[in-house]
Amino acid sequence: MANQERHTFAWTDLLWLVFLGGLAFMDPIYEIHKQAILLAIGLFQISERRLLAWVPSRGRFYSVIIKILLATLLMEHTGDPAGGISSSYYLIYFLPVMTAALYFEGTGTLIWTAITSAAYCSLLIPAYLENYELTPESAKELILRNIFFFLAAMLVNPFVSENRRQARRYRLLAEELAETNRRLEQAQEEARRSERLAALGQLTAGLAHEIRNPLAVIKGSAETLTRRLESADPLTTEVAGYISSEVNRLNTIVTRFLNFARPLKLERRLAQIPPLLDRALKVAYERWPEAKVEVAQQYSENLPEINVDPDLCEQAFTNLVLNAYEAMTDTGGRLTVRVAAANSDGRRGVEINIEDTGPGIPSELHGQIFNPFFTTKREGVGLGLSLVSKIVDDHRGWIRVSSEPGKGACFRVFLPAE
């Protein structure tokens, strides 16, 4: 497409040079001045789009002004001894008039056409100095020419303005479609994630029940060995204790699996979100009181009450805040918690942003961090963010992450009001 556009513009540029070249050499009586001015007009017309790209805000003004000046200069060098007012090249003034009609709305087009008309009429001044006589016929001709300037501008401008409006509408429509496609892709990804969570939850529940029974037998056997060998062999007693403690740890992990797999029973009631976040921040501070983390709380006023399960939401916020603290435990940093009223897909609710300045999350992991059992930590089973996602999904909200390595991470949570 780009090559095709360059080819079209090249032919347009060639046509400009051909037409203006024909004007330049049509009448060899005139001196080199006329040819030079027409060449300047052609070169400027070809390079005009570069001027607009170079000075986008004021380029169109400069373009019309330069064309008026070049047209007036051409008129002065192509008139009879009485002056350029009688030149047959007065049609060159249609060039700035059409340019104004292309670049400006109705009022701007009228103003620039009036300026062009004034520039043309200003040629009467040097004509009078050469004893030029303005007869009724020549005055009528001058008025007609100026009227045609305005008629041409008003004829072209409505079509150009409508074309601009259509282009603007198409651009807005394209942006809306792009945004709709983006939201659709997000919804599809969230649906796939929910399906994966449901399937893994069922699998986890089955495995956890199967694992729990052997663990109970192992733990009971270890405790029996500990009681019987407590005074006989200290080493055997110690090993039996290790078995018992490790079984307890495995049992805790299995319990977490079961809690994750078990369908959540929401006990909804109207609640404000900031107090839940405050309690989550308090838990994180008590867990890592030595961490050099600066906490900034930015809660908007007049936040709506949200119909949620406060305990589950507090658990989700606690997991997110603990992750942020853990990411900044060694180096310190800033944790920013923002809450504001928001709308998503026509739903009114609250958006919570939990942003840290830790090492960040690689972009290739953004789609995996909410999956069960996925973790980049040396310890842990990778259920924290999965549980957060499950809680948010059950509240019919959404959670998203944005992060760049070395620039921290921001978790955005939307909870609908109803």
For residue range 349-374, what is the model confidence (pLDDT) as tens digits?
A: 999 999 998 888 887 777 777 776 66
Residue 156 to residue 78: CA distance in whole angstroms:
28
Of 222, 238, 261, which closes a domain? 261
Inform me whether the pLDDT recorded for 123 exceeds 60: yes
Q: At what angle are helices 2-24 and 32-54 packed, to 10 degrees?
A: 160
Q: What is the pLDDT of residues 326-349, one digit of tens each?
A: 888 878 889 999 999 998 878 899
For residue 278, CA distances in Å to 56, 315, 333, 352 come to 49, 12, 19, 13
378 and 251 in a common domain: no
Handedness of CA 55, 61, 63, 66 (dihedral sign): negative
Q: Is residue 74 part of a domain?
A: yes
Does residue 89 share a domain with residue 32?
Answer: yes
Same domain, 59 and 121: yes
Instruction: Name the range with the highest mean pLDDT among 62-76, 197-211, 245-259.
Output: 62-76
Tell whether 335 and 384 lie within a shared domain: yes
Please determine, for residue 43, whether its predicted confidence score (pLDDT) is greater than 50: yes
Structural domain ending residue among the three candidates 215, 245, 261: 261
- Residues 247 and 291 reside in one and the same domain: no
Q: What is the mean pLDDT of the chain?
A: 80
Residue 401 and residue 273 in one domain: yes
What local confidence, expressed as pLDDT, does residue 37 receive?
Answer: 82
Residue 218 and residue 283 in one domain: no
Among the ranges given (104-108, 172-176, 184-188, 292-296), the one the predictor scored with the smallest mean pLDDT: 184-188
Q: Is residue 336 part of a domain?
A: yes
Supply the CATH number for residue 209's domain: 1.10.287
Within a domain: residue 392? yes
Q: Are residues 313 and 412 in the same domain?
A: yes
Q: How far apart are CA 242 and CA 224, in angstroms?
A: 13
| CATH number of the domain where residue 339 is located | 3.30.565.10
Q: Is residue 179 situated within a structural domain? A: no
Average the pLDDT over each of 74-78, 125-129, 301-305 and give the range with the smallest value. 125-129
Query: Are residue 206 and residue 290 in the same domain, yes or no?
Result: no
Please check whether residue 14 lies inside any domain of the structure: yes
Please enumerate in sequence order all residues whose Cβ is within 8 A of that of 357, keeping only pairs 6 or more positions apart, or say none.
Answer: 328, 333, 334, 335, 407, 408
Task: Look at residue 16 in the predicted model and tell me its pLDDT.
Answer: 66
- The pLDDT value recorded for residue 17 is 67
Burial class (CB in 10 A: 0-12, 13-18, 19+), 342: middle
| Structural domain range at position 19 | 2-134
Number of domains, the chain: 3
pLDDT at position 394, please?
A: 87
Is residue 151 one of the residues assigned to a domain? Answer: no
The confidence band for 257, taking pLDDT boundaries of 50, 70 and 90, is low
Asked whether residue 299 carries a pLDDT value surpassing 90, the answer given is yes
330 near 290, Cβ under 8 Å? no
Asked whether residue 224 falls in the same domain as residue 349, the answer is no
- The domain boundary residue, chosen from 237, 261, 285: 261
- The Cα–Cα gap between 314 and 142 comes to 82
Which pLDDT score, from 0 to 100, does residue 28 have? 55
**Residue 172 placed within a domain:** no
Report yes or no on 232 lying in a domain: yes
When pLDDT is averaged across residues 214-228 and rounded to a whole number, the result is: 73
Contact predicate 297/311, CB 8 Å: no
Is residue 80 predicted with pLDDT exceeding 70? no
